[in-house]
């Protein structure tokens, strides 16, 4: 009889070596390079700091409040701690290799709480809000937080999923400005005006796949059958000629006659293999 303890689901509230090994299949936690512990109800990072070679870590959707165990992960490149209960990210200042940080959906109160990240010279992407999942932070309520953040991190390339510098940033900003202008102009007195009827660019059926003409296919099939019928007639005539020649020569076949018969039989074998015609001497 199974005990009540055996029927209980594994406890994931605290990260342990057993949990890390079971989730990754690695015998040694220092061998773990990529780790995904998403939405497991984790509230204690436990021994995560022992994964010294960890490069990518996803802890999103948990109940984490304390990031202190992450301070020893100096090789960490990508960190996702979105949708937790984090208000202090100062331990991340020890993650000197960090390039991408997602802290959307937490409790970071102000821009001052982000100053600790200024020592991270490789940091290129920061996400504090994510409109797709309706994630944000209290700091995002400040209308000037974006400008302050860009001044605070002049080397940042992506903020909240939007490219701010580098290839494509100017085009992105231009498209965003046009989009905002269109949206603003579409509303009149707080209501969306009726849109005029628009005609399609192409005629109906333009994109439909054009089928081949059945009459053409039928004609080709008929011609093929005619050719096949002629080949069968030639095969029968060749069989008659070969049979007559064999009777005339009897057992004394000249070399020339043998060559002719050999060629004729080769022709019959070819027809037999191609058109399924059987040659039998009469």
Tens digit of pLDDT for each residue in 156-171?
A: 999 998 888 655 555 5
pLDDT at 278 over 90: no
Strand order in the sheet with 56-58: 34-36, 56-58, 78-80, 100-102, 125-127, 158-159, 162-163
By residue range, what is the domain housing residue 245? 216-275
172 found inside a domain: no
Residue 157 within any structural domain of the chain: yes
Same domain (yes/no): 19, 147: yes
Instruction: Judge whether 159 lies within some domain.
Output: yes
pLDDT confidence of residue 4:
44
Q: What is the pLDDT of residue 178?
A: 65
Residues 121 and 236 in one domain: no
For residue 206, is it within any domain? Answer: no
Mean pLDDT of 104-117: 95
For position 129, which CATH number holds? 3.80.10.10
- What's the CA gap between 233 and 279, in Å, rounded? 12
Helices 214-249 and 255-275 cross at an angle (nearest 10°) of 150
User: Does residue 211 sit within a domain?
Assistant: no
Question: Do 152 and 221 belong to one domain?
Answer: no
Task: Based on the fold, state whether residues 235 and 102 are members of the same structural domain.
Answer: no
Q: What is the pTM of this model?
A: 0.59
Among the candidates 166, 184, 205, a domain finishes at 166
pLDDT at 254 over 90: no
The reply to whether 106 and 221 lie within a common domain is no
The confidence score (pLDDT) of residue 54 equals 96
What confidence category does residue 89 fall into, taking pLDDT thresholds of 50, 70 and 90? Answer: very high
| Max avg pLDDT among 154-158, 241-245, 265-269 | 154-158
Residue 2 within a domain: no
- pLDDT confidence of residue 201: 62
Total domains in the chain come to 2
Q: What average pLDDT does the chain have?
A: 79
Q: What is the pLDDT of residue 107?
A: 97
Residues 151 and 249 in one domain: no
Examine the pLDDT at 270 and tell me if it is beyond 70.
no
Give the C-alpha separation, 274 to 239, whole Å: 17
Distance of CA 204 to the CA centre of its chain: 33
The average pLDDT across 114-132 equals 93
In this structure, is residue 254 part of a structural domain? yes
- Can you tell me the mean pLDDT for 127-132? 92
In this structure, are 153 and 15 located in the same domain? yes
**Rounded average pLDDT over 209-232:** 67
- Residue 106 scores a pLDDT above 60: yes
Residues 237, 158, single domain; the answer is no
- 173 in a structural domain: no
CA distances from 210 to 206, 213, 219, 226, 240 (A): 9, 9, 19, 29, 50
Encode pLDDT of 28-69 as tens digits.
999 999 999 999 999 999 999 999 999 999 999 999 999 999
Percentage of the chain modeled with pLDDT above 90: 44
Length of the chain: 282
57, β-bridge pairs: 35, 79
Final residue before a domain boundary, out of 151, 166, 181: 166
Cα separation, 88 vs 70, whole angstroms? 12
């Amino acid at each position: 009889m199974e005990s009540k303890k055996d029927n209980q689901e594994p406890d994931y509230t605290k990260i342990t070596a057993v949990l890390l090994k079971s989730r990754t299949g690695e015998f040694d936690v220092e061998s773990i390079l990529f780790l995904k512990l998403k939405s497991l109800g984790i509230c204690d990072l436990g021994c995560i700091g022992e994964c010294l070679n960890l490069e990518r870590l996803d802890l999103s959707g948990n109940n984490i409040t304390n990031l202190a165990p992450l301070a020893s992960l100096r090789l960490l490149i990508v960190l996702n701690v979105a949708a937790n209960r984090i208000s202090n990210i100062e331990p991340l200042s020890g993650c000197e290799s960090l390039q991408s940080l997602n802290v959307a959906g937490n409790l970071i109160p102000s821009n001052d709480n982000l100053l600790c990240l200024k020592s991270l010279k490789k940091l290129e992407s920061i996400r504090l809000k994510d409109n797709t999942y309706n994630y944000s932070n209290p700091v995002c309520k400040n209308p000037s937080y974006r400008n302050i953040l860009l001044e605070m991190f002049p080397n940042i390339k992506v903020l909240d999923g939007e490219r701010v510098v580098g290839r494509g940033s100017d085009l992105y900003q231009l498209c965003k400005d046009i989009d905002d202008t269109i949206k603003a102009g579409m509303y009149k007195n707080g209501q969306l005006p009726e849109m005029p009827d628009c005609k399609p660019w192409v005629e109906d059926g333009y994109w439909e796949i054009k089928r081949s003409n059945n009459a053409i296919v039928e004609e080709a099939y008929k011609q093929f059958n005619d050719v096949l019928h002629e080949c069968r007639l030639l095969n029968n005539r060749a069989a008659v000629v070969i049979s007559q020649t064999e009777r005339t020569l009897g057992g004394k076949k000249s070399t020339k006659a043998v060559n002719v018969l050999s060629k004729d039989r080769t022709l019959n074998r070819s027809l037999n293999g191609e058109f399924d015609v059987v040659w039998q001497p009469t």
